[in-house]
A and B are shown apart, each in its own frame.
Chain A
Amino acid sequence: MRAILLSNINMQPLVRTLQPWDVSAGTYNSMLADLSTAESPASAAGVTHVLCLYDSDTLLGEAFYGGGPPEQCEMFLQALESFCARHPDKVVVANLLSPSSNRWLGFADVLHADSLRARQADLNAKLVAIGKSRPNLLLLDLDPLIRRHGEDALMSGAFWYTARIRYTARMFELLADIIRQAINAHAQRCKKVLVLDLDDTLWGGIVGEAGPLGIALSEDGKGLCYRDFQRCIKAATRTGVLLAIASKNNEPDVLEVFDQNKMMVLQRDDFAAMYVNWRPKVQNIVDIANELNLGADSFVFIDDNPVERDAVRKALPEVTVPDFPARAEELPAWFTQKILPAYFAKYAISNEDAAKTEQYRANRARQRLAASFDLDGYLAELGIECSISVNNGDRLTRAAQMTQKTSQFNLTTRRYEVTDLARFVRSHEHAVLMLDYKDRFGDEGAVALAIVDLAEGRIDTFLESCRVIGRRVEDRLLDKAIELCRSHGHRRIIGEYIPTRKNQMVAEFYDSHGFAPLSKYGDGRITYEKPIDDRRPGAG
């Protein structure tokens, strides 16, 4: 590419910061003449990019001080439009009008007929109209950049009055960056897929430990950092960015987050591919590339874990792997200011872009159907083995601990001490049931607990660790509780749900296990019953 830099002020220092691009600066204040003249250097055949980076205050001229209409602006608009029309093969970059904050009207700039604010809006509307009809015109809004870094840091009176240089060295660096990004965006050189980790990336904490409702994801505090981060990512999907998950987790745990956590901005449908398993992420990324039929060189991988990032960088150098912010509060700004402009910038968003995820998702659904994934198959593959112990006096410490610590999958949230449980066991009126779990990945130990009042045929306590939720382990424990009640002569079993701030995930547990509501109490407590008389057909 060969570029020429035109302006109405001294922009020579930008030539340096745009290196190694081949950029030459037009003569000082030659912008209008160069755009209007057929024989100008900007019109030369080899020039691929014309950068019109003018100073807005200067272009407004006396109008900036309220001294008449902005004649230069109108001339510039005409010259720009005709140049773009004459040279459809050249990309013309021009900034929108963004006057400095020095307003001669002060507070009156809001209402006054000669308001700069109104002037700016009017001229920019005209520029945008030209931009819509001339696809080779690339309009650049510098306002967000100036607002972010501040005029005081970016502009210099000393250089301005010495050499007609408006900006500081920092601004020339930032200008070069934004111009490069905009030209890449205009040329549609951008990445396609954002591959995301989950724990401590899309939400705070580890879902396998904290559970689907225990992760940090909310409308305030740290949880809001992650929720806003998700909002930023969701916005990116509207510009055609495809999302994929590569996470080391148990898939059911993750699916529960999508199903149960109302704070999730991103939904299952937002992801074109989802790989939640314990394989190396490199392998998952390769599979995502195959599934989406896209090169991994169009992937950006975001993960809070430096070890995972390093592994992907080494094994798949074509994947872009940016560093991850150290603090959660930096996530939204980091993503919007660093990741999006650097890798996913687009200048024009098409309807196809907006519908891209949907298109890939449909493909995925077909592929998944072909592979006929289902929960039963998954559970069968895990090779789950459970054993249930009843009234094992050696394990009451652990049992008490489970009643103290489990808050989410806990129907009654009754907290017991070891001494309480010992009394239960001794009395023979209660049974303490503990379920131990292992699968082919390892032994999890005791993961579920039930305390059954055998005198009443009532389930006093029923809880399960979040580590194994979604694997239907609780069904086996419930079956055992029913069996015990039956063997003690009961023809029905009573269940109970006491709502707390944390246990809404099991609000419908008994409804979905064949229990019928018995009584509802003012505090939200509900009792259930289920017939368990095995002599009656269809029962139990």
Chain B
Amino acid sequence: MIDDREQDKIQAAMKFIAVTLDIPEGELGPDSSMDNTPDWDSSEHMNICLLFEQQFGVKMDMDIITSATSIRALAALIP
């Protein structure tokens, strides 16, 4: 069962990706990722990680940068 807090984090991650990629939030879902989102390419992924680090205060390490390529993975990092 997904609790409310987890749901909030997924919402926050979706909103953040929509703003960063400059696409409507409606085009994203909890299962959106680099693989199924055309604008989310490897170059944009670096912007996403840079801005995610800044906005959510999460220190990104190399493993996170290479693995956090989906809404769910990013949401799980939100403190």
Q: How far is the CB of A16 from chain B (nearest CB, A)?
A: 6
Q: How far is the CB of B72 from chain A (nearest CB, A)?
A: 21
Chain A, Cβ-Cβ closest to B60: A158
Most A-side CB within 10 Å, residue of B47, B49, B50, B66 = B50
- Point out the residues of chain A lying under 8 angstroms from B23, CB to CB: none
A376 to B65 CA separation, bound complex (whole angstroms): 76
- Point out the residues of chain A lying under 8 angstroms from B50, CB to CB: 13, 159, 165, 168-169, 172
Please determine whether B65 and A13 come into contact, CB atoms closer than 8 angstroms.
no
> In which size bucket is the chain B interface?
10 to 19
Q: How far is the CB of A229 from chain B (nearest CB, A)?
A: 32
Please determine whether B46 and A169 come into contact, CB atoms closer than 8 angstroms.
no
Please determine whether A158 and B54 come into contact, CB atoms closer than 8 angstroms.
no
A12 at the interface (CB under 8 A from B): yes
A161 at the interface (CB under 8 A from B): yes
User: Given contacts A159-B65, A162-B65, are A169 and B54 in contact (CB under 8 A)?
Assistant: yes
Please determine whether A168 and B46 come into contact, CB atoms closer than 8 angstroms.
no
A1 at the interface (CB under 8 A from B): no
User: Given contacts A12-B46, A13-B47, A159-B46, are A169 and B53 in contact (CB under 8 A)?
Assistant: yes
B1 at the interface (CB under 8 A from A): no
Interface size on A, residues (CB 8 A): 15
A165 to B51 CA separation, bound complex (whole angstroms): 13
Chain B, Cβ-Cβ closest to A167: B50
B62 at the interface (CB under 8 A from A): yes
Chain B at the A interface: SS class: helix
A227 to B61 CA separation, bound complex (whole angstroms): 46
Please determine whether B54 and A168 come into contact, CB atoms closer than 8 angstroms.
yes
B36 at the interface (CB under 8 A from A): no
Please determine whether B46 and A158 come into contact, CB atoms closer than 8 angstroms.
no
- Point out the residues of chain B lying under 8 angstroms from A161, CB to CB: 62
A12 to B50 CA separation, bound complex (whole angstroms): 12
User: Given contacts A12-B46, A13-B46, A16-B47, are A170 and B66 in contact (CB under 8 A)?
Assistant: no
A371 at the interface (CB under 8 A from B): no
- Point out the residues of chain B lying under 8 angstroms from A163, CB to CB: 46, 65
Please determine whether B51 and A158 come into contact, CB atoms closer than 8 angstroms.
no
- Point out the residues of chain B lying under 8 angstroms from A16, CB to CB: 47
- Point out the residues of chain A lying under 8 angstroms from B54, CB to CB: 168-170
What 0/1 pattern do residues 165 to 199 of A give for CB contact below 8 A with B?
A: 10011101000000000000000000000000000
Q: How far is the CB of A279 from chain B (nearest CB, A)?
A: 48
Residues of A within 8 A of B (CB): 10, 12-13, 16, 156, 158-159, 161-163, 165, 168-170, 172
Residues of B within 8 A of A (CB): 43, 46-47, 49-51, 53-54, 60-62, 64-66
14 contacts between A and B (CB under 8 A): A12-B43, A12-B46, A12-B47, A13-B50, A16-B47, A156-B53, A158-B60, A158-B61, A158-B62, A159-B49, A162-B66, A168-B53, A170-B54, A172-B50
Supply 17 further A-B pairs (C-beta < 8 A) apart from A12-B47, A158-B62, A162-B62: A12-B43, A12-B46, A13-B46, A13-B47, A156-B60, A158-B64, A158-B65, A159-B46, A159-B65, A161-B62, A162-B66, A168-B50, A168-B53, A169-B50, A169-B51, A170-B54, A172-B50
A-B pairs, top 10 by smallest CB distance, nearest first, are: A169-B54, A169-B50, A162-B65, A158-B62, A158-B61, A163-B46, A162-B62, A169-B51, A158-B60, A13-B47
